[in-house]
Amino acid sequence: MASVAAAPKPRSTTSKTSPTRKHSPRVGVEGKEGREGRERHAPVQCDVHKEAVVCHEAKIMGVGGIKIGQGTAVHPACTINAKVGPIVIGRFNIIEEQVEITNTSEEPLVIGDYNIFEVGAKIVGNSTIGDANLFECRSQLGPNAKVGDGCTFSVGAMVPPGEQLPDEIVVVGPPGLRHVEIGAKDAHIQAASKHIEVLKETLPRCHHLRRGAKSS
């Protein structure tokens, strides 16, 4: 007797799908670029005197508020960051490329008149800087320092936090030797005044300027 072959089972038309994988939000540490970008786009209250020369390419940021006085010249590629508290910059100062002025304290960082900050100088925290001081290339001033008038910080000089310097002191780069230079204040005022007259002519030719009394 011939055997009867079993009929094949019908194939299911329903396809098996793998369960949907739930993607959890990526949790990680915010990188430096992310922080800088967020700070750069944060609202900043910047009061610029109509006779100041502030290049638009300068990085002016922070929530603390920034005031820039009459005749002050701010080069491109420098950073003024009122990260926490305000920064008040007086009249006829010169802030060159790669200078970093950052206030990380709730107390104001105050800069007087006729100061020169050369390339790469760094000012951090709620320091108080008087008039006609010269910060040469890559010099650094720590937080909560107080600087008188007519002081000179030579190339690479570092002043520790909380330091108080009287007038016309010269700080020589490492190891930080010091001496007095009589008449330095007047000499610095003359140098800054002449330099600013040149910058008032040259910077607007090459760079867009930050205009208006206040911008955000």
Average pLDDT, the chain: 84
Q: What is the pLDDT of residue 133?
A: 98
CA dihedral 205, 208, 214, 216 (to 10 degrees): -170
Give tens-digit pLDDT for 200-212. Answer: 999 888 878 876 5
- Residue 84 in tokens: 């926490």
210 within 8 A of 55, measured Cβ to Cβ = yes
Q: What is the pLDDT of residue 205?
A: 82
Order across the sheet with 87-89: list the strands.
164-165, 146-147, 128-129, 109-111, 87-89, 66-68, 46-48, 214-215
Measured in degrees and rounded to the nearest 5, phi and psi for residue 194 equal -65, -40
Q: Give the mean model confidence (pLDDT) for residues 61-69.
A: 94
Q: What is the pLDDT of residue 173?
A: 80
**CA torsion sign, 148 to 151 to 155 to 160?**
negative
Q: What percent of the chain has pLDDT over 70?
A: 77
Mean pLDDT lowest for which of 12-16, 119-123, 133-137, 208-212?
12-16
Give the residue from 191, 37, 33, 10 showing the smallest Cα distance to 118: 191
User: In angstroms, rounded to a whole number, what is the distance separating the alpha carbons of residues 210 and 193?
Assistant: 21
Q: What is the pLDDT of residue 47?
A: 92
Cis-peptide, bond into residue 175, ω within 30° of zero:
yes
User: Of residues 7 and 146, which shows the higher confidence score?
Assistant: 146
Give tens-digit pLDDT for 143-202. Answer: 999 999 999 999 999 999 999 999 999 999 877 789 999 999 999 999 999 999 999 999
Give the residue from 114, 69, 118 showing the smallest Cα distance to 89: 69
Q: Give the mean model confidence (pLDDT) for residues 88-95.
A: 98
Q: Where are the beta strands (DSSP E) in 78-194?
A: 79-81, 87-89, 94-95, 100-102, 109-111, 116-117, 122-124, 128-129, 134-135, 140-141, 146-147, 152-153, 158-159, 164-165, 169-171, 178-180
Q: What is the pLDDT of residue 20?
A: 47
Max CA distance (Å), the chain: 128
147 within 8 A of 129, measured Cβ to Cβ = yes
Residue labelled with tokens 């000499």: 187
